[in-house]
Amino acid sequence: MKNTKTLICILVPLSAISLIVGVTINNDMVLLLSLLVYGVTGKMALDPLLLYTIKINAKNSQLAMTFGIYNFLGMIASIIAPIMTGFLIDVTKGMSISFYVAALLLMASLVCFNFVKYEAERD
């Protein structure tokens, strides 16, 4: 697909749905299928698309700084996520709430992503 925005708008909901299905269903085959779908549509598929989006939207003179900020925010998220997950597990006495929060954050990020204007849309 040439339009990465459309591809992201397809992959993120599939990823969120696979997270929720993996937690709510008690069937091993469905869990395996859910993990497979998340593996294909999740972080490993989205990161290259997000990096491409940053590349086409950032000015060439600010590209290194923009990638640095992206990497910094990703590292902050990798520090905060385990703390937040542990807190949610302690409060709710269950691990499934963290998967629901992850799916909710994915959908919230999709809404925010739709505000990104591509070069072609700016003209």
The pLDDT value recorded for residue 113 is 87
The pLDDT value recorded for residue 114 is 86
Burial class, 18, CB count within 10 angstroms (exposed 0-12 / middle 13-18 / buried 19+): buried
Cα 77 to the center of its chain, rounded Å = 11
The pLDDT value recorded for residue 119 is 61
Structure tokens at 19: 């997270």
Taking residue 35's Cβ as centre, other Cβ atoms within 10 Å add up to: 15
What string of pLDDT tens digits covers the 123 residues of the chain? Answer: 568 888 999 999 999 999 999 999 989 999 999 999 999 998 888 989 888 888 888 888 999 999 999 999 999 999 999 999 999 999 999 889 999 999 999 999 999 988 877 665 554
* Cβ proximity of 115 and 10 under 8 Å: no
Residues 6+ apart with CB under 8 A from 26: none
The pLDDT value recorded for residue 55 is 87
Q: Determine the Cα–Cα distance for residues 4 and 118; give it in Å rounded to an integer.
A: 10
Q: Determine the Cα–Cα distance for residues 80 and 66; give it in Å rounded to an integer.
A: 21
Q: Determine the Cα–Cα distance for residues 73 and 106; give it in Å rounded to an integer.
A: 15
The pLDDT value recorded for residue 123 is 46
The pLDDT value recorded for residue 108 is 95
